[in-house]
Structure 1
Amino acid sequence: MNRLRVTSGPVLAVTSLWLVTRAVMLWLLEHNSARLLGSGSVTREVWRLYFHWYGVLAHGSFPVHDTLWQYPPGAGAVLLAPGLLPGLTYFEAFVLLTLAVDALTAAALVRAGTRSGRSLLGAAVWTGGLPLLLQLPLARYDVQVTALAVLSLLASGRFPRAGGVLGALGGLVKVWPALVLLGTPRGRTTRTAWAWAAGAGAAGLALLAAFFTHPLSFLREQGGRGVQIESLGGTALSLARHAGWSGRTRYQYGAIELVGPHVQAVAGVFLGLTALALGLLLLWRLRARHWSEATPYDAALSAVLLFTVTSRVISPQYMIWLIGLAAVCLTSRHTSQRPVAVLVLTASALSTVAFPMCYREVVDGTWAGCLLMLARNGLLTAAAVLSFLRLWRAARPPAGKTAAVTEPRPGADRLPDRVLSVP
């Protein structure tokens, strides 16, 4: 009874916060045409681009020779889902489904946070962090992708098979959720999660290939992407314009990219940095000797941060991923990522100032736009470095203990749940 009283208040507060903030986000979506809200650019992707792809997918084919289609085949299932809701326009159905998935994610974080020894701070970060991006989360399918990653992490400790399957499904939709399996505890948990992920990924790909033609058409277009203006490389090139660099911006591959001398060299540098990030993560995995319940969560956030800051593209919706993973970390009192979560939330707020509020300044490469992106990307870079350093340090055994890694006994990684009942 006492436990119920302790948790019911915070849960009610998180629920109320979700209802209020989502009502505000819907209001912002309704007034999307305002200049500070992007003059309609935020929602255009759904009712124009997603709806166009829906028409192609409904005829049994993935988009072919479409430079804007750069997503794995699982994205097709997400874009087709709004068609299952009769009586609504595609846009209305898409927003309704996104809200439903958002609510499911919040509920999963609340459930995780009310377990013994856990924290509701993660649910609060998701609920209060997402509105920092204004109406954007409701007009992108990244909420659905992030939900798969969040559910995979929350399930993997207690149910590694389910965690592996959810991670694989997320990878089929947008690749990066497969990274959440990087930090699974060594031994049986890792073997089970990774094996089920491989099986589910192969089965899902085979199923999509059986019902749709050209499932791998996205690979050709993904490889042709350049340097987007909001990436770290794009920020460097935008600053170089003030020093006399002759490049310019151009809309291509679904984003505003920089074109001109040395752009390919910059893109190559960041591809190299991505490879270096992968190497560092694999080195951490090999040398890690101490696992806590929070290690898989912390490793997932660190991995996605490193891949984000070394990417040639950092779209505003990428912040949804980071908010979701930071929220999972903060469900555990043992996480090493609390200061990282603060940096992520601050960077999210700055992302909103950049897009949609001051996007023209960013595109034109004015000093205000350059400094804004330098601040946002500087915060993300600091978050990535700090995240990996804290992950590395946390993987060392506590002082005075032997650095031995043993395979956990079945069920050893499960936390006891205290049954709540009202007399």
Structure 2
Amino acid sequence: MRGDLNMEHDTDRRRYTPAIILTVSLFFLWGVANNLNDILIAQFKKAFVLSDFGTSFVQQVFYLGYFLLAIPASLVSRSYGYKAAIVTGLLLYGAGALLFYPAAAMSQYALFLLALFVIACGLAFLETAANPLITELGDPAGAARRINLAQAANPLGALAGILIGRTFILSGIHHDERALAAMGQAERLAWYRAETLAVQPPYLTLGCIVLCFAVAAALIRFPAGETHASAVTSEHRFADLLRRPRLLFATVAQFFYVGAQVGLWSYTIRYAQANVPALGEKAAADMLLASLALFAFGRFAGTALMTRVRPATLLLAFSVVAAVLAALAATVGGLIGLYALVATSFFLSIQFPTIFALGVEGLGPLRRWGASLIIMAIIGGAILTGAMGWLSDRAGIAIAMLIPAACFAVVAGFAISVRRAA
């Protein structure tokens, strides 16, 4: 029987190889969008003269899109299939990226936020469809390792996003208040406008690429999954998820994990400049680049370790170390604190996909509903990044790193609960 199941899984993989390849590429694409936000925070801070809390609206509207569209995305996926959800997500992603053109032309921060919200709505569709699809295509026992392997494309996209932003958006020119005051009004306005227009070419290019992916997805065969008829039975009701304690704890853990990850990366450049003043804007961006390189390496290393270590055990170890490093960044500061902050990213690597896989484990036909609930938890990236910005404005960016440290403790608690239940 076990051999028959493995043959069936192998047949599915061969039949849907183009769909699997495109789905893995989606992890790359949303990595680009997510981490371009970290560059935008630094760029908008100077282009629109914003406080740390003001810059946090980049992430707040972005992750609000995830929260609001996760359930509609699940409904589309369940009623019309994975293909419909993925094509819809790519169209929204591409449209949001193209909205950067009028936003930059009009130099309106609010329009940039609207564009980011539309992109996030698209990503909600993509993540709600792609994550459960990867867990379903194969042996259920290997779901955690399989999704970690697929998600290895995500940090590669994150690295690409930072490289794009560092090369084509950040100018490396940062005027302090005294220098700006010494400028004439026309010169000052011209500098602000140049910094705003810098975001246009990368996002227009990204939008066109994403729309090409939408066309490709429309032409590729995807697994049909559950039909609309099966979705209306009581067994599939969203309310049934409330009787799944592991899923609910996974949702809470994902809320805090995403808040920690987004907050750390959103303020890495800010932390570097505040704690090591000699670092320029691009050198500070290099610290973020190093963080993402460690994140990518950690994803591959963690996936390999899962062949020998239970996913919940590895999640516990990684979350505890991440909490300690974030606490060091908060309390030590300086170059040591910056190195601790950068090193934290290695231990972020497996947390999102492992929480996801452990949370939906054993849900059966409720898997897609469970996926939408966990994707909704991404709102933590909005709420906790805003909290970090608020605390930074009052107590300094270093102290704000205590929030991610506490978040990782919650993830450790989830890992402990899964280990005890096994």
TM-score by length of 2: 0.30
Larger RCO of the pair (alpha carbons < 8 Å, separation 6+) = 2
Higher helix share: 2
